[in-house]
A = this chain, B = another copy of it.
Amino acid sequence: MLAVHVAIQVKPECVEPFIEATRMNAENSLKEAGIARFDFVQQQDDPTRFMLVEIYRDEEAALRHKETAHYARWRDTVADMMAVPRSSIKYTTLYPDEAEWRCS
């Protein structure tokens, strides 16, 4: 499976609206068939920094996610909140095994 870690830093005044928009996007993303997880965490020593941990069944599921209405809404809503452009790193999952990733 494919894990995408997206590092995000927002402007200090945007922390709360960013959390709200991203929670909604995570909730909707988790309903996509190809997404096993969509975790959202906030850095403890710098609350303007966040990480999205997205687990996809495969590359195609990641592409399909970018075509959803909720992704487009999130992307447009948060565009002006970024302090710096966001960056992402792609990983292949090693543990747990595939069947263990989906929680629901």
Contacts and interface: CB of A to CB of B under 8 A. Distances in A.
Interface of A: 3, 5, 19, 22-23, 26-27, 30, 38-45, 50-51, 53, 89-96, 100-104
Contact of A89 (B23, B43, B92): B43
From A41, A53, A92, residue with most partner B Cβ within 10 Å: A41
Contact of A95 (B39, B95, B96): B39
A51 B91 contact: yes
A5 B51 contact: yes
A91 B44 contact: yes
7 contacts: A5-B51, A26-B95, A43-B90, A44-B92, A45-B90, A50-B94, A100-B104
